[in-house]
A = this chain, B = another copy of it.
Amino acid sequence: MNPAELAQRAPSETLLERITRSMPTMRKSERKVGEVVLAAPGRAMNFTMAECAEAAGVSEPTVMRFCSSIGCDGFQDFRIQLAQTMALGLPVTHSAITADDTAGDLAEKIFNHTISSLDRARRNLDQDSVERAIQALLAAESVLFVGFGASGIIAQDAQQKFPLFGVPCDAPADFHQQFIAASVSGPRTVTFAISNTGHTAETLTVAREAKSAGSTVIALVGSDSPLADLADIALKAVTFEDTDIYTPSTSRLAGLVVIDILATGVAMRRGPEHQEKIRRMKSRLATMRHEVPGAPARRVGEAGEGE
């Protein structure tokens, strides 16, 4: 990563969030500008300074002052930052799903929401915790992934990545199985507990059991919570709350990305011969799962389809 890219590492807030937060402390006419921008960010993006002043009913220097007060270095910079925020798309908090949305609107809104949500996770993920989690996983002789519901899906996905982790991974779906596995774990096992709320009773029970058995506990949560407190290492994947039934739960997605990061990080540090094994496995899997286009379909019971 070169210095230029490093320098523009994203702040933990998006521009629209920053404007919303600054609104109360703004002067009256600056706030007018803020309202115009928040009301139609897509339109504001194409504004020239004069147009913006016109739309808000203020003078140009006021627009300038508005830019400064939200931490932008001039109007140009404001436009750039707004464009960046808009590139991700508005989360449903800013652009709600309505009954008369077409399929296209719906698709766009949900993609926008998801991408914004992942952007939020990206801005807020603690690098130090990631590093520590990778180290812990590198030291482990086996990993136990636990989670229920949507978090269970993440656990399943993580388990599927065991070749990258390089050690046996387990992810039982059943609560009792999870508890048993946690009970018989020890210092050489990492227990990876996943719960977006961080309050899920069953997950907490398993995590406590694992900890008392001497296992290192990594928690993947959405916010500060009992599970995060309990864990040796807490990974916080911050997303948007799912306030409405129409709000898709984006926490799963962020969780999966964090798993990707850890799996890649671990594989990277296991050295070249480990990577070679994975590469070989991948290419053989690729040939196995690709039916040659145009070839006759294989039927049940034929060779090579073993479950």
Contact = CB atoms under 8 A, between A and B. Distances in A.
Contacts of A201: 289-291, 297-298, 304-305
A174 B307 contact: yes
Contact of A299 (B85, B99, B205, B300): B205
B1 A101 contact: yes
Nearest to A279: B245
Contacts of A57: none
Interface residues of A, number: 99
B253 A256 contact: yes
Interface of A: 1-2, 4-5, 7-9, 40, 42-43, 45, 79-81, 83-89, 95, 97, 99, 101-108, 110-112, 114-115, 118-119, 121-122, 125, 127-128, 130-131, 134, 148-150, 153, 156-157, 160, 164, 174-176, 179, 197, 199-202, 204-205, 208, 225-226, 245-246, 248, 252-253, 256-257, 260-261, 263-265, 267-268, 275, 278-279, 282, 289-293, 297-300, 304-305, 307
B160 A150 contact: yes
A179 B99 contact: no
B111 A115 contact: no
Contact of A246 (B87, B114, B153, B264): B264
A174 to B, nearest CB: 6
A83 B134 CA distance: 32
A264 B149 contact: no
A111 B45 contact: no
Contacts of A119: 115
A275 B245 contact: yes
Contact of A111 (B42, B97, B104, B121): B121
Contacts of A86: 8, 84
Contacts of A279: 245
Given A42-B5, A45-B8, A253-B256, A106 B153 contact: no
Contacts of A43: 2, 4
Q: Which 8 A-B pairs have the closest CB atoms?
A: A104-B127, A84-B87, A103-B131, A248-B260, A111-B122, A4-B43, A87-B87, A201-B291
B264 A256 contact: no
Contacts of A1: 95, 101, 105
Contact of A115 (B118, B153, B252, B282): B118
B127 A103 contact: yes
A42 to B, nearest CB: 4
A189 to B, nearest CB: 19
Nearest to A116: B115
11 contacts: A88-B88, A101-B268, A103-B131, A103-B265, A106-B130, A106-B264, A114-B118, A148-B289, A164-B245, A204-B297, A245-B279
